[in-house]
Structure 1
Amino acid sequence: MSRYTTVIFDFGGVITASPFEAFNRLEEERGLPRDFVRRVNAVNPDDNAWARFERAEIDAAAFDALFAEEARALGHELEGEAVLAVIAGAVRPDMVATLDTLKERGFTIACITNNVPGGKMGIQGAGMTRSAKAAIEVADIMARFVHVIESSKAGVRKPDPRIYLMMCEKLGVEPAECIYLDDLGINCKPAAALGMHAIKVTSGEQALADLSAALEMRLP
């Protein structure tokens, strides 16, 4: 019998492929340095345009302008709207199948995602694209979770420890009962500090291998 009762997933970079791949393609198209978008978002990470957007403190128009200012301060031109247009990653079918397997075996599954208002997921998330088909696909996946916490609705974003504790309180579980998966180490650290078993996701295959080992069962 597993010591864990609950598996909490990030969305972008875990259920879907990493949005950073899309950012790199955008950078290449625009002639920008590789990982420039990540560099912009690393400056003043708790109060920059992206952080404020993910907490729903500003709207898309303000994000577009503020992100452009931040990019310009680092020596390049890039509007926020262009970044938002490419953030959705492709869904990983094996991860979706894993959600179903975990539910069938009695585990509680939930999701914590940093996102932005209006259904567009943020740099630590990924979600609805502008196509109706993709939006339906994401909604179908989200419906599998017992509970979802979105930063833009909660007013708090990862890696703030409060967002993980909010989930535990909602589910009625202790952190030690939980496994948490995220593609960013900075988001895994507070989960681990609280007592969760944190898995940093670098690929779908690696995530499933590590999750299978932690639960002592084969997935999906």
Structure 2
Amino acid sequence: MHKAIIFDIGGVVMRSPFIAIAEHERKLGLPVNYINCSITGRGANGSWQKFERGEIELLPFYEAFGRDLSDTVNGNIWYKTYCERKDLECPPLPEALRVDGRELFGEMMREAGRYDEPIRHAILRLRAAGKYKLIALTNNFSKINIPREELHFLGWGEGATPNHLRELFDDFCDSSNLGMRKPEREFYLLACERNGIKPSEAIFLDDIGINLKVARELGMETIRESL
């Protein structure tokens, strides 16, 4: 019997930052998913992953993020692997690339600052019904100290996780506060432990395949949201 519904934030409750990434790829003339491959290819030690765990502050992150994504040596290797895995013909890849980490992150956050209104209304109906515990499980940045001048640029007038977002949920599990992130199994298990449920008692919504895969392996029922 399900007792809780666990929601990802960006890409489920809020609009997906992947929309901004796709637009940035088009602007730079990059193949589809090139930047995503560069972000995920670095595994747990990339600047993006460290930022989501609260291990690096914003301004150093901008620099490291841009440096990571401008690395065509590794980026091209990871993209070729992606094409092979997807059985795609690999297009021409960049010999040199300059990605501005601040510019891209700002575009991502401004895009992700808007609600998916049908999902928000569904959450409000669920809250009113009172049948399920509603939990957010998000790779987020609320622990990070944001310089005042950057708040407007990022669209974070009320911070990375404004009260009107947090108040939708009974519990808000933020990667930067808890020092772990999806798809790390411990993050899912901690969310369950904090809320007195077993993974098999939860429904989990996310827009990223690997995050859903781990949830299923733990026993959660999963629903994939699309862009």
Larger radius of gyration, structure 1 or 2?
Answer: 2
- What residue number does 2:139 align with? 114
Residue 189 of structure 1 aligns to which amino acid in structure 2?
K
Counterparts of 2:188 and 2:8, CA distance in 1: 11
Shift of residue 202, structure 1, vs aligned partner:
1.0
Shift of residue 137, structure 1, vs aligned partner:
9.1
* 1:91 pairs with 2:91: no
Counterparts of 2:213 and 2:167, CA distance in 1: 27
Tell me the percent identity: 28
Where do 1:1-220 residues align within 5 Å?
A: 3-74=1-72, 75-88=96-109, 89=112, 90-106=114-130, 107-116=132-141, 117-118=143-144, 129-132=154-157, 138-203=162-227
Shift of residue 136, structure 1, vs aligned partner:
9.8
Normalising by structure 1, we get a TM-score of 0.80
- What residue number does 1:208 align with? none
Counterparts of 1:48 and 1:136, CA distance in 2: 21
Counterparts of 1:71 and 1:17, CA distance in 2: 22
Q: Is 1:96–1:141's contact at 8 Å kept on the other side of the alignment?
A: no
List runs of 5+ in structure 1 lacking aligned partners. 121-127, 204-220
In 2 relative to 1, CA 131–59 (structure 1 residues): closer, same or farther, beyond 3 Å?
closer
In 2 relative to 1, CA 119–65 (structure 1 residues): closer, same or farther, beyond 3 Å?
closer
> Is the partner of 1:199 in helix, strand or coil?
strand
| Alignment: residue pair count | 193
Shift of residue 193, structure 1, vs aligned partner:
0.9
Shift of residue 144, structure 1, vs aligned partner:
1.6
List runs of 5+ in structure 2 lacking aligned partners. 73-95, 147-152
